[in-house]
């Protein structure tokens, strides 16, 4: 287990804009990646972390809100029509915080580190973090969701 360097927009925004590839192999290298991600998240005191943020273009992210959850090859199946605007930050966008609209709940299908598929509904801050981290896997940053009005504040 090791702490990995988090890529920031100041260092390599082009890499952060890349789309991550599905995980096809479940085993020791995936376990090492996930363990390193947990160590890195703890070091930086974050709520979530995607593999792309530490230089790995795999569809993997973790969140640490109420519980530790690992998401491999996640798919957002449903989202609430109701949204809530709350503050967000990002380890890859240091020292910036903005109010962002996100759905109040999401239904997700993903795999765990052993390849077992799960499906769950997440609400509140967990849903927000899942949307945030899932966006990373598609090369999107939360600051992309800012409106012109938000940027002036």
Domain count, the chain: 1
1 part of a folded domain? no
Q: How far is it, in rounded angstroms, from Cα 38 to Cα 55? A: 15
Active site residues: 133
Which pLDDT score, from 0 to 100, does residue 150 have? 56
Question: Quick one: average pLDDT of 19-44?
Answer: 97
Between 19-33, 104-118, 119-133, 136-150, the lowest mean confidence (pLDDT) is in 136-150
Domain assignment of residue 2, yes or no: no
Structural domain boundaries enclosing 143? 9-152
The CATH number of residue 24's host domain is 3.90.45.10
State residue 1's pLDDT score.
73
| pLDDT tens by residue, 70-96 | 999 999 999 999 999 999 999 999 999
- Which residues are paired to 62 by β-bridges? 49, 70
- pTM higher than 0.85 for the full model? yes
- Is 31 contained in some domain? yes
Q: How confident is the model at residue 105 (pLDDT cuts 50, 70, 90)?
A: very high
In a domain, 29, yes or no: yes
In this structure, is residue 73 part of a structural domain?
yes
Model confidence at 27, pLDDT cuts 50, 70, 90, reads very high
Domain-embedded: residue 102: yes
- For the chain, give the percent of residues with pLDDT over 90: 94
Sheet strands (E) in the chain? 48-50, 60-65, 67-79, 83-90, 93-103, 105-111, 117-123
The answer as to whether 127 is a domain residue is: yes
Residue 3 lies in a domain: no
**Cα dihedral sign, 43-49-55-60:** positive
């Amino acid at each position: 287990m090791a702490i990995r360097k988090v890529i920031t927009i100041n260092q390599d925004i082009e890499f952060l804009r890349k789309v991550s590839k599905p995980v096809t192999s479940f085993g020791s290298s995936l376990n090492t990646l996930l363990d390193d991600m947990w160590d890195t998240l703890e070091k930086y005191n974050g709520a979530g972390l995607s593999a792309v943020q530490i230089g790995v273009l795999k569809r993997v992210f973790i969140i640490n809100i109420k519980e530790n959850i690992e998401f491999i090859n996640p798919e957002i199946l449903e989202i609430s029509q109701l949204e809530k605007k709350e503050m967000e930050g990002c380890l890859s966008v240091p020292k910036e915080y903005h109010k962002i609209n996100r759905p109040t709940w999401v239904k997700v299908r993903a795999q765990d580190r052993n390849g077992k598929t799960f499906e769950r509904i997440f609400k509140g801050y967990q849903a927000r973090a899942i949307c945030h981290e899932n966006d990373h896997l598609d090369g999107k940053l939360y600051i992309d969701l800012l409106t012109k009005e938000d940027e002036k504040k």
